[in-house]
Structure 1
């Protein structure tokens, strides 16, 4: 990667002299931030547009002479060339270099000593995006996205924080101060505090009082569905909670990219369960969630898919309720929905399927073995089988034995969201044979039902001979 010589800094321009060359709309866009910053702005232009002329008339901008003279540059900190007076650009570059003045030339990065970033402003809070002149449009797009995300009253909150800081230091211990500021600016409370009609000072006073009077601040647990597949499937609500968490207990099959959104000082604990491999016990997970919350931490239990669809979220919720630990559940995109979307196969379809059954291929040892009523489930329905490798052949055979057509569409998706992802579209009579070479370590889902083939291309779910058992993969 090429060395970047540009240092991001914020300059105090109050009463400092800055020069702008040009009198058109580009110059106007560059003038306004300088005027707002309290700079003494000199404008060099022959025929400035009306908006700039108004600034000159109101003495907010001072007219400079053209052509330039060497004395025109005395005391100037930085200069901007809008490109609207091209006959004088070379002179400006030469004199700026001679007088050690920082120069920005619009759309000509080779003649720039500095770049003006795209800025999001919320009072004293300023967030700047710069690409070093390489892609200004990207910086603008990022600014626009952040503008939509940040509350408009965030600047008021920052000003209030400045005002209340001495009071916080007086009333709270150093440890309590850190917790107070974390709580004040946590995503889970930030939007509420910045809502219109909310008295920010009252919220801060209440937060200080609750922090100073609580002997043991009780934390909270969020059971969060991370979605299925890659990190893009997590919901915005779940992502905000992950970013604010003190402790994250996460599944082993999660996209590692997700964990990069956690705070650097957050504690990350892997509590994965893998069939046939050493796994973290559910008892350990339950106790850890409660213990961390009772120590005052914000705890996120980050799960693949949805917490309440084969995610053991119900057991965790029941345990936390018994210990009177505050808990919320955040839904996630379950594997069946994500796989169907990626493969363009509907799970319901008018006249074909009006219900969906979620089930597992494995049966808990604590329950008696059951034999699904396949005919009842699949007549006018779709079945999604999670952890489907165990007993796949037996399940497909029993569907046919139950009277279902051997050519009923069936699809297997293994390793959803990973680089090893495998997808096989077949029928209940051929799926087990065609999937024989799928790696055993990949988590596997099977979908069965007539609705799957409604939007498929011709012969996509057609039966294949046993000898043609090569995998069909969709990356």
Structure 2
């Protein structure tokens, strides 16, 4: 990754905006929409800044340790601003590291058409169900698998379908998944060649056991907090690369 995506809470916090006109005003609206207090360059408390058409200001702010976004100048940016799909509280951010804002905007428009307006209500329903699900499924791994099963394509809480207001906790309990071990047989070292089912298993796994010849790009499709164990066992004859995905009960 060229950058680490972060969601920063700006409510009531000062953010410097340098410049005016067509380059700066959309940034002002975005900051105000996020609840930030838009301030000038001299504010001593601000730690973030957006600068339009003023390289000298970029240098001055960086010298103070302020993180700067220089509009349309990615080579000067400490952070970039993504294209945003807003389904509050769900936010989808698309970034290209400043390489192509047009591409990010085009992807945002596509996602706007795909993500239902009810997605935010689904997120809130799942949040409200947390207490009940913790009581019913005290094991975190089992709870995570059950939620994942409910959210699968065609599942009771499929996020790409209109949420009908059903009881989210009951839908998760009805969809609960059991543990086990699944062996994924890979036909290619390219993660784009994973089947949808293989990608889902990797994303849901609590433990991934793999040999040294499995590329890191494949393993990166697993959850970052999934335990990983390398094994030197030889691959089965004719099977190619394999990944054992261990699901704890």
TM-score bin, normalised by smaller chain: 0.5 to 0.7
* CA pair 156-204 structure 1, distance change in 2 beyond 3 A: same
What is the 5 A alignment of 1:109-148?
A: 109-148=74-113
Match of 1:14 among 11, 15, 35: 11
TM superposition shift of 1:188: 1.0
Tell me the matched-pair count: 200
Q: Contact 2:116–2:160 (CA<8 Å) still a contact in 1?
A: no
Report the counterpart of residue 48 of structure 2 in structure 1.
78
Structure 1 length-normalised TM: 0.36
Q: Contact 1:15–1:40 (CA<8 Å) still a contact in 2?
A: yes
Q: Contact 2:15–2:47 (CA<8 Å) still a contact in 1?
A: yes
* CA pair 18-163 structure 1, distance change in 2 beyond 3 A: same
Q: C-alpha separation between the residues in 1 aligned to 2:17 and 2:77?
A: 14
* 2:147 aligned counterpart, secondary structure: helix
Q: Contact 2:94–2:104 (CA<8 Å) still a contact in 1?
A: yes
1:263 paired with 2:199, answer yes
Q: Deviations over 1:239-265 (max 9, x none)?
A: xxxxxxx97999x9xx99543543263
Structure 2 length-normalised TM: 0.65
Report the counterpart of residue 174 of structure 2 in structure 1.
210
TM superposition shift of 1:171: 1.5
Unpaired segments of 5 or more residues in structure 1? 43-63, 84-88, 219-245, 268-475
* 2:81 aligned counterpart, secondary structure: coil
Match of 2:147 among 166, 181, 185: 181
* CA pair 20-137 structure 1, distance change in 2 beyond 3 A: same
Q: C-alpha separation between the residues in 2 aligned to 1:114 and 1:15?
A: 20
TM superposition shift of 1:168: 0.3
* 2:65 aligned counterpart, secondary structure: coil
What is the 5 A alignment of 1:146-185?
A: 146-174=111-139, 176-185=142-151
Report the counterpart of residue 25 of structure 1 in structure 2.
22
* CA pair 40-258 structure 1, distance change in 2 beyond 3 A: same
TM superposition shift of 1:166: 1.4
What is the 5 A alignment of 1:304-453?
A: none
TM superposition shift of 1:167: 0.8
TM superposition shift of 1:121: 2.3
TM superposition shift of 1:173: 4.8
Q: C-alpha separation between the residues in 2 aligned to 1:107 and 1:24?
A: 14
Q: Contact 2:83–2:105 (CA<8 Å) still a contact in 1?
A: yes
Unpaired segments of 5 or more residues in structure 2? 206-249
Report the counterpart of residue 235 of structure 2 in structure 1.
none
- Between 1 and 2, higher relative CO (CA 8 Å, sep ≥ 6) is seen in 2
Q: Contact 1:119–1:126 (CA<8 Å) still a contact in 2?
A: yes
* CA pair 20-210 structure 1, distance change in 2 beyond 3 A: same
TM superposition shift of 1:133: 1.4
* CA pair 192-22 structure 1, distance change in 2 beyond 3 A: closer
Q: CA RMSD in A?
A: 3.7
* CA pair 191-26 structure 1, distance change in 2 beyond 3 A: farther
* 1:80 aligned counterpart, secondary structure: strand
Match of 1:37 among 34, 37, 53: 34
TM superposition shift of 1:10: 2.0
1:195 paired with 2:162, answer yes
* CA pair 145-176 structure 1, distance change in 2 beyond 3 A: same
